[in-house]
Amino acid sequence: MTTGDTTPSGGSVTSSAPLRSADLALAEFLRGEGRRVVATLTRQLGDLALAEDAVQDASLRALEVWARDGVPENPGAWLFVAAKRRAIDILRRERSRFDKERQATIMSALTAPDDAPHDLEDDQLRLIFTCCHPALSTEAQVALSLRVLCGLTVAEVARSLLASEQTMAKRLTRARTKIAKAGIPYVVPRPDELPERVDGVTTTVYLLFSEGYASLSDGPALRSALADEAIRLGRLLTVLLPGSPAVEGLLATMLLQHSRRASRFDANGDVVLLADQDRALWNTALINEGLALAAAAITHSPRHPERFAVTAAIAGCHALAADPAETDWPAILRWYDVLATIDPNPVVKLNRAAALAESGSPGEALADVDALVGLDSYFWFHATRAELLARRGAAADASVAAQRALELTDSEPQRRLLRRRYPPVPGATSSEVPL
Amino acid sequence: MPLYAAIIYSADVDWSLPEYADETKEYMAFAEGAAAVIRGGAALYPTATATTVTVKGGKGGDVVLSDGPYAETKEALTGFYLLECADLDEAIRHAAAIPGAWNGAIEVRPVLPLMS
């Protein structure tokens, strides 16, 4: 639904495009700079919404000036100064938005002797914890992270999360209002609060990653950039929390999954299944880094492994197999059993069933899948059923399941794969009673 | 510093009855521990004593009374505190120490500063 649309805002450039216009390159560069300046300015002003507005205006100005005069020597500092000026303008113009006391505080912060962007990692970490504060809904956390941490425009956030721009603008406004009025602090939580906060942060970062990862081929370039962004945030978190198994596991999982990026789609943009992927295309550096982190994550949570330590272990099992036949499916199955004790949700059980099928018990796997409840609107449920049914020779049933899966995905490559693998069978209709 | 209302929703209890003395003591212990941030608050009589007032037909219309609380819920509004805290995190830390947090739930809401 959203994957085909093209706009001049930068979302439409695919990674295979040979050339990018200078404007787009500049806009993308600005996005990175803008994100850092938002982080620093938020610390200085104590007001995320104001910082965002000021940086957005300054970015538009930069686009004009830089395209004309060239990119300045220190673009971050240029943008910072421009954003500060803009913040002063906003403060003067929109008096109603700030109470007097607050306005005075912000103004004095703005006019205090300049501190150029510094300690960027710290500022960004603070922002991560603000955007992923558990007092915000998960939807709000993800939307804010895309907007503030990844620097997407509201239109891009909306497209990414399959919502209308209007809905997304409202959701973001509500979240910003809550941050400002409820006083969600712009700090890295105290050590004793970190454990409970890390869970939400890692979950959000992984959602960002999945958002990009799910659509590397047919989505706009910005979505694949999300996977890179999520990995960047994951790396930032390892700086803050060295030795945290949740963070190590998160980063390991992302790196190991990302290592297969070049092999997941063929030249036509069609999905290449894991078993058929050219493993020579897998990124060895990412695999090695991911495996080391996965091992550390498991070592650091020996008795009660962290959820992401386990997902990293599973991704590691795949990465270690030089060819598909070498994949240690029984080990993967055991890890899924561990995962199911930590996170007993039907999606985990679905994945476990897939591993069970690969371990040589496809019949048992199908029975397990059929026993799952609550996944009727989940694409992978029907796609997995189609595959398991096809393997049993039940082509008609497989085709019906595939039809249901087709209705649940917007991904063209996924749709082509389903049509190719489970062709319609005469007489089979999708009138099957949903489970 | 911002002011937060920590609104307590818990079992509908009658604080005036001696059988709630133990729980009342827990609240007194909380109040002592959080004395530095508490700016006000009150315990409420049970919902059986509540009267709900509505003016029908807009301002100046008929006053309609009904017996009981505005919303019939399992967990009743049983009291509240006003806490002056640096930020939401501090308010949450204190709210988590209110006995109602484990007997029910505490809603933490920022208080709108009145214009002076």
Q: What ipTM score was computed for the predicted complex, to two decimals?
A: 0.83
Nearest chain B alpha carbon to A189: B89
With beta carbons less than 8 A apart as the criterion, state whether A227 and A212 touch: yes
| Residue B86 sits at the chain A interface (C-beta within 8 Å) | yes
| Confidence (pLDDT) at A101 | 77
| Confidence (pLDDT) at A23 | 75
Q: Which among A99, A185, A189 is the nearest to B113, CB-wise?
A: A99
DSSP letter (8 states) at residue A27: H
CB contact under 8 A, A135 and B92: yes
pLDDT in tens, chain B (116 residues): 889 999 999 999 888 899 999 999 999 999 999 999 999 999 999 998 888 888 888 888 888 888 888 888 888 999 999 999 999 999 999 999 999 998 899 999 999 877 54
Quote the distance between the C-alpha of residue A196 and its chain's center. Answer: 20
Give the integer Cα–Cα distance in Å for A145 and A156. Answer: 12
Contacts for A12 with CB less than 8 Å, ≥ 6 apart: A5, A6, A220, A221
The string over B52-82, giving b where at least 16 C-beta atoms fall within 10 Å of a residue's C-beta and e elsewhere, is: eeeeeeeeeeeeeeeeebeeeeeebbbbbbe
Beta partners for residue B84, in sequence order: B3
Nearest chain A alpha carbon to B4: A182
Label residue A10 exposed, middle or buried (CB < 10 Å: 0-12, 13-18, 19+): buried
| Confidence (pLDDT) at A400 | 94
CB contact under 8 A, A135 and B87: no
10-residue averages of pLDDT along chain A (435 residues): 34 39 77 88 88 92 89 90 93 80 80 62 85 91 90 84 90 92 89 83 90 58 75 91 94 95 86 91 96 96 90 96 93 96 92 94 94 92 95 92 90 87 73 46
Nearest chain B alpha carbon to A136: B88
Nearest chain A alpha carbon to B84: A183
CB contact under 8 A, A184 and B88: yes
Q: Which two tokens stand for residue B29?
A: 């212990």
CB contact under 8 A, B88 and A99: no
Q: Residues of A with CB below 8 A from B109's CB?
A: 182
Global pTM value: 0.79
Supply φ then ψ for residue B55, to 5 degrees. Answer: -105, 115
Angle value at C-alpha A186, between B94 and A224, nearest 5 degrees: 125
| Confidence (pLDDT) at B92 | 92
| Residue A196 sits at the chain B interface (C-beta within 8 Å) | no
| Confidence (pLDDT) at A270 | 85
Total Cβ atoms within 10 A of residue A334? 17
Closest C-alpha among A136, A46, A40, A169 to residue A98:
A46
Give the integer Cα–Cα distance in Å for B94 and B91. Answer: 5
| Confidence (pLDDT) at A206 | 92
CA distances in angstroms from A293 to A198, A226, A242, A256, A280, listed in the order given: 17, 21, 11, 10, 22
Q: Residues of B with CB below 8 A from A183's CB?
A: 2, 4, 85-88, 91, 110
| Confidence (pLDDT) at A10 | 36
Q: Which two tokens stand for residue A45?
A: 């002003």
Q: Which two tokens stand for residue A390?
A: 């096809």
Q: How far is A369 from chain B (nearest CA, A)?
A: 38
Contacts for A89 with CB less than 8 Å, ≥ 6 apart: none
With beta carbons less than 8 A apart as the criterion, state whether A246 and A306 touch: yes
CB contact under 8 A, B89 and A185: yes
